[in-house]
Amino acid sequence: MQQGHPSVIQDTMQDPAVPLWTETEREEIVMQPPAPKPQPKPMPKIRVDQAIAYLKAGQLSAYRGALRTLSEGKEQYTSSARDFRSALRSGRGVLCNTGRVTWAFLTQPVWIVAKNKEPKRYSRGTLFVLDTVRFGGTFATLFALLFLTLNYQSFWAIVGSQIRPIQAAQNTSALVTSVDEALREKVMRSPSLAVSGKVAGDLLSYLPDVGPPENRVIIPKLNLNIPLVTPSYQNLLSENWTGVEEDIQSALQHGVVHYPGTARPGQAGNFFVTGHSSYYPWAAGKYKNVFARLNDLKIGDEYWVYYGGDKHRYIVRKKEEVKPSNVRVLDQPLGKRIATLMTCTPVGTTLRRLIVTAEEIDPITGMPLQVGQKGLHGRKRLNVEQLPI
């Protein structure tokens, strides 16, 4: 084709492009205005009587639906009631039959033959009751003996205070003066001190009031004068709670425990002390029943705490029992100076905790002490010139 018709191919390639439309047609297309948007058809007007008719028809339909629902529910409940009565009648027959069989079995006579005794006639029901009472009584007796054996020290401390009230009062009186007597004997045994004095006839009358050399809790009503042990704070600071519990249990072998992290005597907060009411007899330590009689403390009773050589006096204000999981008893109020004694209750169990809350008062005047206030310890001003040489 390239050899036969070269001019045709050349003319075709050299023809200019033919426009799709003319300039006049383009202007007509551009200038043509857009078609108008169709207007929405107006809503048909509904007359008032038609609206009322529609409402009445809807109410009638709803009323019929409600009646239909109630009717179906009534039929279902009626059917369920019929089934229940039928089951009850059949069950009553089975129950009566079972009762007759059981009664016949329990009243069946049984002859008991014992050596060198006449045979006795019992019913199976009587033998069942006797065996139950015999087994239950034996179990209860063994449990009571075991419980009393494991906690005999605590129960003896409780019973002993009741059967020997005069001796308990004498022990309390001796406990009150035990600190002064111990100091008096120590001073009198000193060979280098003069024996002249004002009232007591020795140097003791010139000395200021001092406490015991170690921290102690003294409860006169319970005849208790026990060491106050403060465990290490290392596990508490490192939040090793298992270690804290181990420290407390170890410290309980040597007295009652000042709970780590609580306030000290004389500070604002809650001075918290815990001790055993009972413990295993074979466990180490001699303070396994130190708080066995803690429940004997009443509101208004007092106890003392010697801490760092200072005497702190407390008056019981509240008693309560709480669950072991109740940790609010460890709360530290910022505007009060209180103390708490805690032990397990009832004695021999760990079911609950007995909480005795007290308020710190002035050792001399008995007035409640405010935060930051120092009590009057009754110390006299010591004139050095009056001391015997």
pLDDT tens for 348-364 read 899 999 999 999 998 88
| CA gap 377, 210 in Å, rounded | 9
Under CATH, which number does the domain 153-179+213-361 receive? Answer: 2.40.260.10
| Rounded distance between C-alpha atoms, residue 137 and residue 215, angstroms | 48
Query: Chain centroid to CA 324: how far?
Result: 5
- What amino acid is encoded at 295 in this protein? N
Question: What is the C-alpha to C-alpha distance for residues 11 and 15, in angstroms, rounded to an integer?
Answer: 6
Instruction: Using alpha carbons, select from 154, 149, 146 the residue that is nearest to residue 277.
Output: 154
Q: Residue ranges per domain, the chain? A: 60-106, 111-150, 153-179+213-361
Helices (H) and strands (E) in the chain, counts: 9, 10
Residues (pLDDT < 50) of the chain are: 1-4, 6-14, 18, 20-21, 27, 29-30, 179, 187, 190-204, 206, 378, 389
Taking only the tens place, the pLDDT of each residue in 305-346 is: 999 888 899 999 999 999 999 999 999 998 899 999 999 999
DSSP state letter for 267: S
Residue count of the chain, please give it.
389
Quick one: pLDDT at residue 61? 83
**pTM for the structure as a whole:** 0.60
Asked if residues 303 and 217 have their Cβ atoms less than 8 Å apart, the reply is yes
Q: What is the DSSP string of 80-149?
A: HHHHHHHHHHHHHHHHHHHHHHHHHHHT-EEEE--TTS--EEEEHHHHHHHHHHHHHHHHHHHHHHHHHH
Count of Cβ atoms closer than 10 Å to residue 336 Cβ? 16
- 32-45 in b/e burial notation, b at 16+ Cβ within 10 A? eeeeeeeeeeeeee
